[in-house]
Amino acid sequence: MASCSGEEKESPKAPQAGGGGSGQVKAAPLVALPGRVSGTLPKARRKHVAVTVGKVVDRWFRAGYLGGPFPRSSFKNSFAVFSPRLRKQAVSDRKLLTNAAIGPRIDGVVARRRLVLVDLLAPRGRIAGATARVKLWFDTTGSVEQRIVIRGTLTLTRTPKGGYQVFGYDVDRAAIPLPLKKPGTKKPGTKKPGRQARKKTAGAAEGTER
């Protein structure tokens, strides 16, 4: 478990989303869809919850990766939707879970894909928890020109106020140099895209919808 010393403090506000200092996200639209359901839940309810969870995940997307203005060196508000216990661990993984490693060297971000598939645990029709399968692709401009691919799962539970918070993650990050080469143009000895992954889970207690 990561040490809690020297942590960045969190506040509920995320940085304004934007690229190149424009204050606006140059983004593909968020797509949030219901996935598998363990239990019984009406289709309309599944869709509503998927959209709600998708918005929670998108707050992390924006605060950690898409939000500007750039260049940007502070990512202290990136984990506002994480549980307090997990937030402390996520800070140590900020180079994976945010653009902290490249933020000062880029001047813009263009989101290419934002997809969230939401699997639900709903015994007896009550939502006890959710797993978000996420895919985020974005391109960076500036001194570092890359296509970053973020994918993996976030586990979420209910909050006392009826919302959702992340209490576990299993995330993979890959960086591909731009411009992207066409198929069949790979040169001998070309290195594979860099990849890093972490898995952290803090507490398995789940709330139940009332």
Q: Which alpha helices (DSSP H) does 19-83 contain, by range? A: 43-61
Counting residues of the chain whose pLDDT is more than 90, the rounded percentage is 69
* 84-118 tens-digit pLDDT: 999 999 999 999 999 999 999 999 999 999 999 99
CA 175 to chain CA mean position, Å: 15
Q: Return mean pLDDT, the chain.
A: 83
CA distances 181 to 35, 61, 175, Å, are 33, 26, 14
Name 196's Cβ contacts closer than 8 Å, sequence gap at least 6: 95, 96, 172, 173
* 151-166 tens-digit pLDDT: 999 999 999 898 999 9
- CA pseudo-torsion sign 56, 152, 115, 34: negative
Per-residue pLDDT, averaged over 173-191, amounts to 72
- Of 120, 144, 146, 142, give the one whose Cα is nearest residue 133: 120
Distance CA 46, CA 57 (A): 16
What DSSP character marks residue 65?
A: I
Distance CA 39, CA 27 (A): 34
CA distances 207 to 87, 94, 163, Å, are 18, 27, 10
- pTM for the model: 0.79
Q: Which domains does the chain have, with CATH numbers?
A: 41-182+192-201 (3.10.450)
* 22-66 tens-digit pLDDT: 334 446 999 999 999 999 999 999 999 999 999 999 999 999 999
pLDDT-derived band of residue 18, with 50, 70 and 90 as boundaries? very low
pLDDT of residue 115: 98
* 88-97 tens-digit pLDDT: 999 999 999 9
